[in-house]
Amino acid sequence: MHELLIATHNPGKRREFAAIFDGLGLTLRTLDDLGIREDVEETGATFEQNARLKAEGYLALSGLPTLADDSGLEVAVLGGAPGVYSARYGGVQGPAQLQYLLDQMQDVPWHQRLARFVCVIALARPGQPTQFAHGALPGVIELAPRGSGGFGYDPLFYLLDYDQTVAELPAELKNQISHRAEAARMARTILEQW
């Protein structure tokens, strides 16, 4: 039985990965399972760099093959912002962050509000180069928030194919189509080769 450290404190993320990695014969551990309290700082300028920093940092701390992900929102008209700064965009959190994003896009017309959620997963193991998996979900930044599901920017992220914001989608559907799910499926094919 092989162990894989999922470098997160979030039990929800472990559940999402467990569903997608089902049948691989992996035992998934989280940082809390292993009692790892150190934080590897996300000082990178890209999602890849941050995912690599975390995967290699927690591999060094645990000795276990490690998966780390980094994700965020990229808005085309903002030059890809908030990007790696998504969690602390505008120096605010929660609903104030949605308002901050709307303020940045006040005069931007609907057809120029293209955005995408991005997820990069890094997989690190001893003595081998770190490998990467990518996922993206395209959408449009809404003019006002709608819906109560999900987290982060979900209430402002409108999906053309569903005519709903991500916060209006059932959680199971989000977990099938999300940037994280896409990257996790690609990570699964990498893990199958290990």
What is the spatial distance between Cα 153 and Cα 166, in angstroms, rounded to a whole number? 9
Q: How far apart are CA 67 and CA 92, in angstroms?
A: 28
Q: Which is nearer to ligand IMP, 21 or 157 (CB)?
A: 157
Query: Interaction with ligand IMP in 33-72: which residues (CB under 6 A)?
Result: 70-72
Omega into 138 within 30° of 0, i.e. cis?
Answer: no
Q: Sort strands 26-30 and 157-159 into parallel, antiparallel or unpaired.
A: unpaired
Minimum CB separation of residue 89 from ligand IMP in Å reads: 7
Region from 55-63, 98-106, 145-153, 186-194 binding ligand IMP, contact rule CB under 6 A: 145-153
- 46 or 128: CB nearest ligand IMP: 46
Q: Give the range of 27-35, 105-113, 140-148, 152-160 binding ligand IMP by CB under 6 A.
A: 152-160
**CA distances for 179 relative to 62, 80, 182, angstroms:** 27, 16, 5
> What residues line the site for ligand IMP (CB under 6 A)?
70-73, 86-87, 117, 150-154, 178
